[in-house]
Structure 1
Amino acid sequence: MLLERPSDDTLYAALLARDAAYDGLAYVAVRTTGIFCRLTCPARKPKRAHVLFFETPAECLAAGFRPCLRCKPLSTGREPEPAVSALIELLEREPERRWSERDLVKRGYDPSTVRRQFKRRFGISFLELARLRRLGHAAETLTAGTRIIEAQLDAGYESGSGFRAAITRLFGAAPKQLRTRDLLKADWIETPIGPMLAIADRLALHLLEFADRPALPAEIRRLQEQTRSAIAIGRCAPIDQISNELAGYFAGKRTHFETRLALHGTPFQRSVWDRLRALASGQTLSYGALARELGRPAAIRAIAQANGANSIAIVIPCHRIIGADGSLTGYGGGLWRKRWLLRHEQQMHEGEAPDGTDRESPPLCQPA
């Protein structure tokens, strides 16, 4: 019973009250504007007869509704709670610290509250994130040439076997082997259509994918095999750069990306990806047309496979490839995202805001 969606009347009352307890449990779609919102949206409230309620943003999009620009219902990245921000800052300052619930209590935090807040934002608890940061810091020191015993003690492990087991489980290599490997950094980037995972070294971006893509774990394993690298949670310059560029793209202010890419593919796959990157924002191309442009008119299946092998979403715009009849074809991030991205780029090309309104008009749930 606790998992059942409340009645539409209950949800409408929550919408009028902007009740945060219902935020994310359902979404309201407004027939008169074609826009859908969070129940906590600050925009003017529509009449009861004009609204529909859906359980997920994907259902709203599938029904033809557009996301509101004020409450950003597709975003999972609401501003973090003060405790989350403060503790993340402490983690960045002391990545090697071995945190415990007692440390949280000493700083005035309730461990169960902190656990819920971090689970909601990152999918893991604060203590789990701190452990990953600590092991990531240890991996960095190992790849820089630090002795294993020093890295072990810095990471807070008294037991050598425990340290070896933790490193091997997380990075797929024992500490001794890790010293001969490069280290990649991975971090989340929030976007209006869901969080993305970025993986990079200090020079280039290796992977950028939506975090809920089913094939993502296999892509990460393949990347590790191709680069013989370990992956630790953390940030580096290419991740900061692509994060800023994506913010400009989703704000409708940027149509190209300058972050350096590390491409892992065959010469043919790279030729496909290069052509995709040359395709202007707001334009689309069919598999057959792309095959002809590359001088391989019979290679439609190979083109499709190269498209599917792309692991740097949006920047290498495989979403711009459509069927010969103009229909949307498969997309690893989900067809609803493909539809959203194409519409967003078309509106940028036409000088419109992403919700279909003029850029200078404030988005509202219901017109005046």
Structure 2
Amino acid sequence: MLFDLPPDDVLYAALIARDAGYDGRAWVGVTTTGIFCRPSCPARKPKPENCKWFDAAGDCIAAGFRPCKRCKPLHDMADPSVADLLTALEADPEHRWSEGDVIARGFDPSTVRRAFKRAFGMTFLDLARQRRLALGFTELSAGRVVDAQVAAGFESASAFRRAFTRWLGIRPGDLPATSLLRATWITTPLGDMVAVADQHSLHLLEFTDRKALPTELKKLHARHPVSIGYFDIFDQLKSELDDFFAGCSATFTIPLTYHGTPFTQTVWDALRKIPAGRTQSYTNIAQTIDRPTATRAVARANGANQIAILIPCHRIIGADGSLTGYGGGLWRKDRLIAVEKSYADKDRP
């Protein structure tokens, strides 16, 4: 089970002892270097506060860590195509990967597609595009569209604009230099996210591969122009997300600004009252807000949520206990519920 890890102090002791018994069961990402390693890595040991622990090498990649060149944490992955392609991607993250490249490395594209879907919930080409776009996003925040195009590995400025529009719904040339709302890129163990905020509150937080993201950004941009940049409030968001995934706290205190009808906002408030580690159904929420016959409307409001994780629509499951639809993908919903199980365990006597 993902995220089923021993306490951090146990893992850190294993790291200090270079305990190979934890190899393949846990990986450590070092925040000061951006590298992830096996517990048995012979490299100099980081301080405990600079360690982030993962139960899958893919989560390290998704969180932005690079594999260590000394302990080679990808070397013994079960599928050789996954290890080979991840290593190649790390060596040249700006390359515009295609199925032809996969074939040229001796792998069948359909087999690779299934292997990456199992390991990371996305295809290798999707992962490569995210890496390129993340590089371009950083450059774009400084207002350098041409540099962004180059950093993202696209062949032309127009190609980058098309990709940016496809993923985020906003053309770089249309973005103001500064505005009330600013967008930034955030990495999490479940993949990259886009956050939009003003100086005082968060307006949007979505996974970059969510199909509704372009539409949501266009709607925000129509109300208040969105520029790419940074506010101090993003530091708080990153810190609270880090604590959440580390199993330290499921409490988010960052202020939120809703963009929805009064009914939709009522549903979102009800979602935020579901304790971490617990789940409810659409029917439960409808009864909670005294609208017992509005189950379908509750489902629509749940699907319209554009602040993932903080408004925990992932805590809604079917009345029969099955996972229901989730805009970020059912694999992420399953992992979020697994993350929160530890919080439920803490609440039990």
Give TM class, smaller chain: 0.5 to 0.7
Structure 2 residue 340 is matched with structure 1 residue 345 = yes
Q: Deviations over 1:68-119 (max 9, x none)?
A: 82554224233469xxxxxxxxxxxxxxxxxxxxxxxxxxxxxx968459x7
Instruction: Tell me whether 1:201 sits opposite 2:198 in the alignment.
Output: yes
Secondary structure of the residue aligned to 2:253 is coil
Aligned equivalent of 1:326? 321
**C-alpha distance in 1 between matches for 2:253 and 2:230:** 18
Matches within 5 A, 1:1-368: 42=38, 69=54, 72-75=57-60, 76-79=62-65, 115-116=94-95, 122-124=131-133, 129-134=138-143, 169-170=171-172, 172=174, 182-225=179-222, 227-229=223-225, 231-351=226-346
Structure 2: which 5+ residue stretches go unaligned? Answer: 1-22, 29-35, 41-52, 68-90, 97-127, 146-169
1:26 paired residue number: none
C-alpha displacement of 1:220: 0.6
Distance 1:239 1:127 in 2: 19
**Shift, 1:270, TM fit:** 0.6
TM-score normalized by structure 2? 0.57
Structure 2 match to 1:144? none
- TM-aligned CA deviation for residue 124 of structure 1: 3.8
Q: Cα deviations across residues 183-205 of structure 1 (Å, max 9, x unaligned)?
A: 32111111111111111111111
Q: Matched residues in 2 for 1:131 and 1:189: separation?
A: 15
Q: SS in structure 2 opposite 1:196?
A: strand
Q: After alignment, is 68-77 or 259-268 more displaced?
A: 68-77
Identity %: 41
State the distance in 2 between where 1:77 and 1:204 align.
24
Summarize the Cα distance change of 1:114–1:287 in structure 2 as closer, same or farther, 3 Å threshold. Answer: closer
Structure 1 residue 126: Cα displacement: 6.0
Q: Secondary structure at the match of 1:297?
A: coil
Distance 1:222 1:121, change over 3 A: closer
1:125 Cα offset (Å): 8.5
Moved more, 239-248 or 340-349: 340-349
TM-score by length of 1: 0.54
Q: Which amino acid aligns with 2:224?
A: R
Residue 311 and residue 123 in structure 1: after superposition, are their counterparts in 2 closer, same or farther (change >3 A)?
same
Task: Report the secondary structure of 2:185's partner residue.
Answer: strand
On the 8 A contact 1:189/1:195 being kept in 2, the answer is yes
Q: Which runs of 4+ in 1 moved over 3 A?
A: 33-38, 78-81, 112-117, 119-122, 124-132
TM-superposed deviation, 1:342:
0.8
Describe the shift of the 1:270–1:77 C-alpha distance in structure 2 as closer, same or farther (beyond 3 A): same
Superposed displacement of residue 42, structure 1: 2.0
Which deviations, in whole Å up to 9, do the C-alpha atoms of 1:35-83 show, x marking residues without a partner?
6989x86257xxxxxxxxxxxxxxxxxxxxxxx82554224233469xx
Which residue of the partner structure matches residue 356 of structure 1? Answer: none
Alpha-carbon distance in structure 2 between the residues aligned to 1:221 and 1:127? 20
Letter in 1 for 2:132: G
Which protein has the larger Cα radius of gyration, Structure 1 or Structure 2?
1
What amino acid is aligned across from residue 207 of structure 2 in structure 1? F
Give the distance between the partners of 1:320 and 1:297, measured in 2 at CA. Answer: 19
SS at 1:260's partner residue?
coil
The aligned amino acid for 1:300 is T
